[in-house]
Structure formats: structure tokens, C-alpha cells
Amino acid sequence: MKKIQKRSEIIEYGIITILSVVMLLGMMGALTGKWLFDGNSYNSYALQADSWRHGRLDLGQDYPWLELAIYEGKYYVSFPPFPSYILFPFTFFFESSTPDYFILLVINIISVSFTYKIAVKAGLLPFDAMISTFFTTIGSNMLFVMIDPSVWFLAQALCFMTTVLAIYSALSGKGGALFFWACSVGCRPMQAVFFPVLLMILYRKEKDEFPEENLLKIVKRRWKWVIPAGIVAMSYMTLNYARFGSVFEFGHNYLPEFVRAENGQFHVSYMWENLKILFQMPEFTEQGRMVINNMGSLSMLIVNPIVLFFLIEFFFCIIKRDKHLLCWLSGILLMSVFYMLIVVMHRTMGGWHFGNRYSNDILPWIYLGTVIVHTRFPQFVKYQIPFCITAIGLNVVGSVIVYNGLT
């Protein structure tokens, strides 16, 4: 009886979590005019998917308002291809006018569901899992990208979804974790840096189940897990080679802005200015009002305070000398720092948006770190609430201002 009640409570809080997020997203749609079946002008992925349906790798023409790669006189989508995989079946019914806002809503629901499930799987109480989920999704700069399926934001929303699916699968000891990780790399290629963390989760699950086995035996027994991920990776490389003559080139280097740039797309010379943007403190008017701008120059620690909370918990674990937690947190922190170092070497920091959206890509991993801490120290969960409420307020207001052009 107790087990049934516990399961019903988990489901009940899960429904409340999803419903709360959907209702907030509905309000954001009302405040920004972004409705469920609106058209999407920045539909690069749908255009690409529809071109594939017609047997063409390029787009066939220029779309001046989109960021397109120009290679040998042809126009290509300049972003990693996985989102077009998702949209491809829809092109048979909608051609290039796919229902992107509806698809984004489904992506958001899946993301929220599995963010919640990660916490429950790790052992958090349903209420604690709900609070932690809010903090990572609507209490972060992810809120900005959850309401608009434009090409840049759709890729990040899908990256978040596939990453939490990978983490949940790994915590469940399922080889599908590698497949979902490969999908996330097809949205944001730098997700590859977190591969060691994912492997460590899978390894620990295997050791828990078969403590007598060494690494070689585990690999021999589970080698088939690599096949789906390998197929996905091969599809990326085949597409890249067919379009640009290189298995590693997905098109971004052929954007005119990077072709013209003296130092190209990535260079250490960009780091200092981008680091200042990454940690830019808010500016205020003479009347004491915070300045909201549309070029993403607000500290990641302010718009994504779960990162700050993670760092607080990390130092707490140092004080407690908890070697087990420090091992996990150190790995996540190291990979996150590595990820952000690559980000600040990029020529741009995300262009038009509110907040600091490039830092969104590390959030599922940072979240995993906080969940691991909360399994050992559940009293930390309640201290997320003031950070979460503040972040929801800031990201709601900032997103509404930027989407409505009020900056």
C-alpha cells in the first residue's frame, strides 16, 4: 500500500510540475504574442528538412534574414542538423511551414518531465524534485528559449531535452543514454565535452549491478550500446561531407560574418571581451531601474542562479570533506568550465536575446550536480526557492521586454 501511495504522489507532483510550467508558458505567450500555431519566420531547420524531402542538400535559394552558409555558390543551413531530423516527418504534411510552436511546447513538456524524473530517480522526494525542476527550467534563462522556436532557440531547447533524456537514461542504466547524447551533440556540438560524465554514470550503474566485473568485461557486454549513437554520428559526418567536403564541418565556418572575420569563428583573442559579457553585472538608470538590453549581456550567475547555487554547494562539500560528492561535482564543474572556455572563444555570445543563453547548455549537468548533493543533504532544497523565485521574475520580465522590443 505504501509503495502505491508513493508512486501516486510522484505522479501527482509530476503533473503539477508540468501543468505549472505549461501555464506559465501560456502566460508568456499572451505577454509576447507568441501563440501555439503561429508561423515561424526563422525556420531554417524546417527549410532544410523540406529540402531533404525534395532530394536536395542545399536550400535552393537565399533567405537574407537567415544565417546561411554560402559554399560554392549554394546556400545551406549553418547549424548542426539534428533539429531538422525532428522536423523532417512533419514536412510531409506541412512542407516548410511546420508547426514549430506546437513542437516546441512538446519539447518543453518532455524536458520538464524528465528533469523532474531525474530528481525522483536519484531519490529526491516529489516536492523537492518539483522545486529543483522549476529552478532549472523556468527559474533560468531557458525560459527565454522555451517560448520561441526560432532556429537558435529551437536548437537549445532540443539540446536541453536530449541532454536530460541522456542523463535520465544513464541513471537508469540504459544504453539509450549514448544515443540521446549523440542527439544533443547534433544540436550543440560542444556537448561532446560532457561525454566523460555520462560514461562515469553508466560505469557506476554497471558496477553497482555487477560489482565483480572490471571495465573490460563491461565493455564486452555492453558494446552494442554504441551502435545507435554511432549511426547518429555517422549521419552527421555523412551530411557534413556531402555538403562541405569535411566530416567535421556543419557550415558555421562558411557564414559570411565568420569568413570576413580576421580571426575566424573561434579565437583566443575573443576571450577577454566575452568573459566580461559572461559575468556582466546589471546596469541601472539614474532613476534606479535595471537596464534590460537585447544583446545578452547579463551575468550567467544572475539569469542562471542554479550555477551560483551549485558553486555554493561545491564549497560546502569541500568544507564537509565529502570525497564522494566532490568527485562527482569536480567532474561536472571541470567539464562545465571547459565548455564555457570554448564558448568565450567564439566570436559572438549568442547575438539577439535576453540574458546569457550560451550558459543554458550546461544547465542539465549543473542540475545533476545539485541533485546529487540533495540526495545526501536534502535540507539544501528549500534554499533554492528564493533564488528560483528571483530568477523566474527576472527572466519573465526580461523576456517580455526583449520580445516586445521595449529595450
Instruction: Let me know: does 163 contact 336? Beta carbons within 8 Å.
Output: no
Range of the domain at 218: 2-403
Structure confidence at residue 293 (pLDDT): 93
At a CB cut-off of 8 Å and minimum separation 6, what does 165 contact? 110, 114, 176, 180, 183
| Residue 301 to residue 291: CA distance in whole angstroms | 17
Q: What is the pTM of this model?
A: 0.96
Place of cell 531533404: 52
Q: Residue 257: what pLDDT? A: 87
Domain count, the chain: 1
What is the C-alpha separation between 45 and 35, in angstroms, rounded? 19
Angle, to 10 degrees, between the axis of helix 384-403 and the axis of helix 126-136? 40
pLDDT at 325: 95
Q: Rounded mean pLDDT of 302-328?
A: 96
pLDDT at 407: 83
The alpha carbon of residue 116 and the mean position of all alpha carbons in its chain are separated, in whole angstroms, by 15
What confidence tier does 261 reach under pLDDT thresholds 50, 70, 90?
A: confident
Per-residue pLDDT reduced to its tens digit, 17-69: 999 999 999 999 999 999 999 999 999 999 999 999 999 999 999 999 999 99
Q: Give the span between the Cα atoms of 95 and 132, in whole angstroms.
A: 39
- Of the chain, the percentage scoring pLDDT greater than 70 comes to 99
The Cα 22–Cα 205 span in angstroms is 33
pLDDT digits (tens, 9 = 90+) for 378-403: 999 999 999 999 999 999 999 999 99
Each residue's pLDDT tens digit, 106-154: 999 999 999 999 999 999 999 999 999 999 999 999 999 999 999 999 9
Quote the mean pLDDT of the chain.
Answer: 95
Asked if pLDDT for residue 1 goes beyond 80, the answer is no
pLDDT band at 95 (very low <50, low <70, confident <90, very high): very high
Are the C-beta atoms of 325 and 372 separated by less than 8 Å? yes
SS (HEC) of 358-382: HHHHHHHHHHHHHHHHHHHCHHHHH
pLDDT at 2: 42
Q: Taking a C-beta distance cutoff of 8 angstroms, is the pair 314, 380 a contact?
A: no
pLDDT (mean) for 205-234: 93
